[in-house]
Chains A and B, each alone.
Chain A
Amino acid sequence: MLQVTDLHASVIGAGDTEILKGLSLTIEAGEVHAIMGPNGSGKSTLANVLLGRPDYVVNSGTVEFDGENILQMFPEQRALRGMFLAFQYPAEVPGVRPWQFLKAALDARRNFAGEEPMSVRDFTKLFDDKVKAVGIDPDLVKRSLNEGFSGGEKKRHEMLQLEILEPRLAILDETDSGLDVDALRIVAEGVNNLRSPDRAFLIVTHYQRLLNYVEPDAVHILIDGKIVETGGPELALKVEKSGYEQYATAAAG
């Protein structure tokens, strides 16, 4: 489903330094992959590059989604093809209500698929149900998008979007960070419920604990812009125990 080959990327405004330095990764439909790595190693950069954030520059390498080269596409074109990013730091948008935002996003996808917009009534029901499912205070969604949401509320709100939009490839950037135990379970349940043979997940996390609830098909260790090791769930346990020190030489080489 997703094939990343020898990806080199940098950020406009961060000088010439490359952040992704030859990253390769393949995810098949139905799979759940986890990426772990130290702060600043390039995990969020990867997530942003995959969704086509305009100020991230791809210097070389390829990214294919469903066999289609997506590097020339706008973020919205990637989204409409089924990609989704749950942000590590979701933006605040004053005056825009979550309901209105999500309805527009869902209708854009439906329009792309040649379907009619969802009726206000059906959408409201879907929205209310999902708000309950992800455990968001109904008063929260009467506010502006992410404005004044606590860290955990923002993460739940990202999960709400994931559940309503039902993307085919969901990238979760530390959605489990800063969550209480209940919220962690909600994230895990969200992923497990949506897990299906034609859907894939790429989960960026610092903690092995999420992987107790969501069993990954593969765990990758990302250091200094490259994947230095790939393994099964046991790899997460290993780094949690002994840290990333062991990879210091690998990255330098």
Chain B
Amino acid sequence: MATPNTISRKSDLSAGEYKWGFVTEVEEDFAPKGLSEDIVRLISAKKDEPEWLLEWRLRSYNHWVKMAKTQGEPTWAKIRYPTIDYNDIYYYAAPKSSQGKAPESLDDVDPEMLATFEKLGIPLQEREKLAGVAIDAVFDSVSVATTYTKQLGELGIIFCSFSEAVKNHPDLVQKYLGSVVPYSDNFFATLNSAVFSDGSFAYIPPGVRCPMELMTYFRMNAEGTGQFERTLIIADKGAYVSYLEGCTAPFRKTSQLHAAVVELVALEDAEIKYSTIQNWFPGTKEGEGGVYNFVTKRGICRGANSKISWTQVETGSAITWKYPSVILQGDNSVGEFYSVALTNNYQQADTGTKMIHIGKNTKSTIVAKGISAGHGQNTYRGQVKIMPSAENATNHTQCDSLLVGDKCGAHTVPYIEVRNPTARLEHEASTSKVSDDQLFYLRSRGLSEEEAHHMIITGWTRDVIKELPFEFAMEASQLLKVSLEGAVG
């Protein structure tokens, strides 16, 4: 049999190694462990928040306490994890040097922080900062720096940390906070509304096309902390913005909770393109540790002819529970969801989208690709809802699963609710494996088994990857490769 023994395969590749797993040694300020009204007050006080925001947090907290007593965490998703002790989590951790506040200028930023982000490929210094991408760098509970704020400011674009927005643009925050994801929305969103720490805020004024990518890079560092950030993006009439989110966390054997909320608002003729490369620590190969990514993301196409497009590449986290959705309220508005979710080793992902059609001639597109390898479990869960008012709504859903190996699983759970007879919906689904024919074809041309797998898999995800901003498409493809190491070959 043609088995190898003269020339061995590339086994020195440390399989599945998570390269972003380092820890930054920095003194951090913690609020005491556990969750109580006092903790909520403390977080709010640290940030010098106005009274209305504290009240909103407290309302959320009280609602959450009620939820925790009655229904508890949502249980409908196909994920398994040990009970979370919400009193064993730090709800606030910030580098001491930051004093919980965003720095006035880069000179005030702790060099240790700059070095951390540099190491993650996110240089913040004036000289080295990425061209064409404005970055808000968030470290545990605070934003440590935001680049290009001045240039963007000249166009009237506001891009800053959430805390700064609360200080400098309270009217905008108060008007839109919770307008898409109400504080009572779901267990994790409600928890976030009570204790959210920082995050990004963007406002694009009428008629302005944001000339660069806006990016938030989330870094979880401290052990035993939860990360609860809040992102709010508003595209005013006729505005356009492309926003990107990246995230990593150190290698730790205990799990970490990440419960973020993202709200997008697109007014008339506005467009928001939101891309995520989610690379939280996925846990060890044996399934220890890793981030629980329980996130609520929702956008509303409030005005006519507006458009919101979600693109996500989810390779990280031990568990992903996430359904970026669009409420298509304005007539002729468009919602899109492009997703690649990869689960390897013992990762679990239950992810998908909701498209809620309210306006006339609204149109939604869903392209969801799930890759399962190792013992990974991957579920697509999607809802398309056509309300009675949504004359001539259309939806196209395409949902593909790829299995690598035979110990993993792929599941598809579509919910469809049509309350207007003029709606047109199409649904396509497929499950496939990387075929021996494909592998042999590529290998017979000189590509290694690993390269062949990678080429086949990135090809298979092409329809999603091509939706990413050009600079990040390459990174996403590399990430898929690294995440599959050890699963193929």
Within the complex, which residue of A48, A77, A92 is in contact with B7, where a contact is CB–CB below 8 Å?
A77
Residues of B within 8 Å of A96, CB to CB, are: 455-456, 458-459, 462
Q: How far is the CA of A85 from the CA of B437 in the complex (A)?
A: 13
Whether A94 touches B441, Cβ cut-off 8 Å, given contacts A58-B1, A80-B446, A105-B446, is no
State the main secondary structure of chain A at its contact with B.
mixed
Q: How far is the CA of A58 from the CA of B438 in the complex (A)?
A: 21
Nearest B residue (CB) for A161: B445
Residues of B within 8 Å of A228, CB to CB, are: none
Q: Is B117 an interface residue (CB 8 A)?
A: no
Whether A54 touches B436, Cβ cut-off 8 Å, given contacts A79-B446, A165-B445, is yes
Is B443 a contact of A76 with CB atoms below 8 Å? yes
Determine the interface band of chain A, counting residues with CB < 8 A from chain B.
35 or more
Is B442 a contact of A101 with CB atoms below 8 Å? yes
Residues of A within 8 Å of B9, CB to CB, are: 74
Q: Whole-angstrom distance from the CB of B371 to the nearest CB of chain A? A: 13
Per-position contact with A for B1-26: 1 when CB-CB < 8 Å, else 0?
11111110100000000000000000
Is B4 a contact of A101 with CB atoms below 8 Å? no
Is A51 a contact of B1 with CB atoms below 8 Å? no
Residue of B446, B448, B452 contacting most chain A CB atoms (<10 Å): B446
Q: How far is the CA of A76 from the CA of B453 in the complex (A)?
A: 13
Whether A95 touches B458, Cβ cut-off 8 Å, given contacts A72-B5, A74-B4, A104-B451, is yes
Nearest A residue (CB) for B450: A76
Whether A79 touches B451, Cβ cut-off 8 Å, given contacts A72-B3, A72-B4, A91-B435, is no
Q: Is B440 an interface residue (CB 8 A)?
A: yes
Residues of B within 8 Å of A84, CB to CB, are: 444-445
Q: Whole-angstrom distance from the CB of A172 to the nearest CB of chain B? A: 13
Is A93 a contact of B447 with CB atoms below 8 Å? no
Q: Whole-angstrom distance from the CB of B433 to the nearest CB of chain A? A: 13
Q: Is A112 an interface residue (CB 8 A)?
A: yes
Is B444 a contact of A85 with CB atoms below 8 Å? yes
Q: Is B223 an interface residue (CB 8 A)?
A: no
Residues of B within 8 Å of A73, CB to CB, are: 2, 4, 6-7
Q: Whole-angstrom distance from the CB of B18 to the nearest CB of chain A? A: 26
Per-position contact with A for B442-481: 1 when CB-CB < 8 Å, else 0?
1111111101100110111111000000000000000000
Within the complex, which residue of A54, A94, A144 is in contact with B440, where a contact is CB–CB below 8 Å?
A54
Nearest B residue (CB) for A96: B459
Is A144 a contact of B2 with CB atoms below 8 Å? no
Is A93 a contact of B455 with CB atoms below 8 Å? yes
Is A75 a contact of B440 with CB atoms below 8 Å? yes
Is A94 a contact of B4 with CB atoms below 8 Å? no
Is B437 a contact of A75 with CB atoms below 8 Å? no
Is A71 a contact of B2 with CB atoms below 8 Å? yes
Residue of A73, A79, A92, A93 contacting most chain B CB atoms (<10 Å): A93
Per-position contact with B for A165-205: 1 when CB-CB < 8 Å, else 0?
10000000000000000000000000000000000000000
Is B441 a contact of A91 with CB atoms below 8 Å? yes
**Interface set of A (CB-CB < 8 Å, partner B):** 48, 51-58, 71-80, 84-85, 87, 89-96, 100-102, 104-105, 108-109, 112, 144-145, 161, 165
Q: Which 5 A-B pairs have the closest CB atoms?
A: A95-B459, A95-B462, A96-B459, A105-B445, A108-B446
